[in-house]
Amino acid sequence: MKSVAVVGNPKAASRTRDAAERLAAALGLECEVLEVAALGPGLLGWGDPDVTAAVDRVRAADVVIAASPTYKGTYTGLLKVFLDQFPTASGLAGQVALPLMLGAGPAHALAPETGLKPVLVELGATCPAQGLYQLDSAYTTDGSLAGWVERWGRTVLDAARAARTARAARTARAARAADTADTADTADTAATPKGGVNR
């Protein structure tokens, strides 16, 4: 399955990015990284083609890892302006999202749950696991990732598979409905004589 790590750290090649990639690897997921800062001033408006393409990349993933450093007790404004590009309720519908935050100390350990997860849910995402908070000075050695994966890994992967199956079913139904509509339009056109309305 495919994941995309949406990294809301203004610095490139950050520990936030590294932690997100480690999380994806621990879950056995392919990972594409989206550095939000690279989108530049286009984030401040609507309809920027690069931002639109980035949104489409996120919406194509099975699992979205929303990753941010902790800034003033919450996730970054950079990540917020990107998430604002997604429609409410439907922007991440049918996708599993994992809130991941790094911080300097334990004081903000609930930030992924109380700050970031509610926004992802508001966009329609399924968040089947507790958000992951890691110390930026120890996340590679403190065992926090291994403990989280042991507790939540199977739940996350099962939810992602179920969501992927449901999305495929919806796509198939939509395709069948479109084919039916096209067939009906073709039949109506064939039944209408030239120069007038079929009566």
The dihedral sign for the CA sequence 137, 139, 140, 144: positive
The dihedral sign for the CA sequence 139, 143, 147, 149: positive
**Cα–Cα dist 111/113, whole Å:** 5
- What is the per-residue pLDDT for 191? 60
Structure confidence by residue, pLDDT tens digits, 79-134: 999 999 999 999 999 999 999 999 999 999 999 999 999 999 999 999 999 999 99
- How many CB atoms within 10 Å of residue 162? 14
Average pLDDT over residues 138-144: 98
What's the pTM?
0.88
Query: Which residues is 6 bridged to in the sheet?
Result: 34, 66
Structure confidence by residue, pLDDT tens digits, 42-83: 999 999 999 999 999 999 999 999 999 999 999 999 999 999
Q: Phi/psi of residue 129, each to 5°?
A: -125, 160
Domains in the chain: ranges and CATH: 2-167 (3.40.50.360)
- What is the per-residue pLDDT for 178? 75
Q: Give yes or no for a contact between 123 and 94, defined as CB atoms under 8 angstroms apart.
A: no
Read off the tokens for 129: 């696991």
